[in-house]
Amino acid sequence: MNREVISDFTAHLKNRAKTDYEREILKFEKHIKKDLDKATKEDAEKYMKYIRRKLARTTSVRIFHQLLSFYNYLFDNNLIPYNPFHKVKKPRASEQVKEERLPSMEEMKKLLHVIKTEYNYRDYVFTLLISTTGLRLKEAIQVKWSDFIMDRIGTIGLIVRRGTDQERMVKILPLIWEEFRKYRKEFLGVSEEYEGKDYYVFISTREMQAYKNYPASVGHMAESRIRHVYLGACSKAKIPLYTAKDLRHAHAVYALYMGADEEQIKEQLGWYSIKNIRKYNGVLTKIRVSANDYTEKYFKQLTKGEDEG
């Protein structure tokens, strides 16, 4: 495969991250002894089995996600017919959420600032949604305008669907809803009539004209877009690489820290069992943030007071 493709994929990364990704991609190519675009699922499975035997679990997880991200990029750009890593069983890291996987409030502010100023408003609003609700990446990607509801006193809720027969309700902060409305009006350029309709909220920028004319025919944006944004934005913000899953975990940890009960967290995050909360036991005793850092006042600062970056 042309090395320019690898360069294009890593172009937005800082030097260290760029070198890291390129190294792992080329190691995989050397191991399979064929061009990268000829890799099969069997190649990917054998390589990850080899990696798991040689390296620590956390390193194996990192390499898996680097290669998965690279092949998502190739697939999204129609350079390969399928992603060979897509259905490969990923290495399992410890079930316990570690402190270093939780973005601090200062890191969240930097991340949001970079996404808003150097990417686009859609990615910014998407990140606000994940950060303030703990939605899964797939759940957030599939949100439609008709999923938002409002009661008689103005409380805004979001119906989150998982599969065909599961749904739950999460609360949307008023200031976050205002960001959604601003995104709809100023970024998408569509009228208030879209609110309440069965149209996807987060769409590809390439579909924006079609969205104005035939909104029901437009699908949601690709999950790989958000992965790619966080990869670049974290690098530009000079913070560790955080994923949508890390933001989901952070939401749960800070909510627990502030005093939310376990049943509330279970409902909010869509867990089957309250036992899932055990994964946060260790980190809850270590985090060093003020409880009121995660209040609505803080997110008001994030969304309206970013002059300092």
pLDDT reported for residue 123: 96
Q: Are residues 55 and 109 in the same domain?
A: no
Q: What is the DSSP letter of 238?
A: T
Q: Are residues 132 and 221 in the same domain?
A: yes
pLDDT reported for residue 1: 66
Mean per-residue pLDDT of the chain: 81
Q: Are residues 62 and 104 in the same domain?
A: no
Residue 210 included in any domain: yes
Q: Are residues 103 and 226 in the same domain?
A: yes
Residue 22 included in any domain: yes
Residue 86 included in any domain: no
Residue 83 included in any domain: no
Q: Are residues 127 and 254 in the same domain?
A: yes
Considering the entire predicted model, what is its pTM? Answer: 0.61
For the stretch 88-105, pLDDT in tens is: 987 765 544 455 567 877
Domain end, chosen from 76, 110, 126, is at: 76
The widest CA-to-CA distance across the chain, in whole angstroms, is: 64
Q: Check residues 105 and 194 and name the one with the higher pLDDT.
A: 194
Number of domains present in the structure of the chain:
2
Q: Are residues 206 and 281 in the same domain?
A: yes
Instruction: Say if residues 103 and 246 touch (Cβ distance below 8 Å).
Output: yes
Side by side, the strands of the sheet bearing 166-172 are 148-150, 156-162, 166-172
Q: Are residues 66 and 129 in the same domain?
A: no
For the stretch 277-301, pLDDT in tens is: 454 444 444 433 433 334 455 566 5
For the stretch 4-45, pLDDT in tens is: 999 999 988 877 788 889 999 999 999 999 999 999 999 999
Q: Are residues 287 and 200 in the same domain?
A: yes
| Tokens read off for 44 | 């990917």
CATH code, 171: 1.10.443.10
Written as one letter, the residue type at 141 is I
Q: Are residues 152 and 261 in the same domain?
A: yes
Domain that holds residue 43: 3-76
Q: Are residues 117 and 206 in the same domain?
A: yes
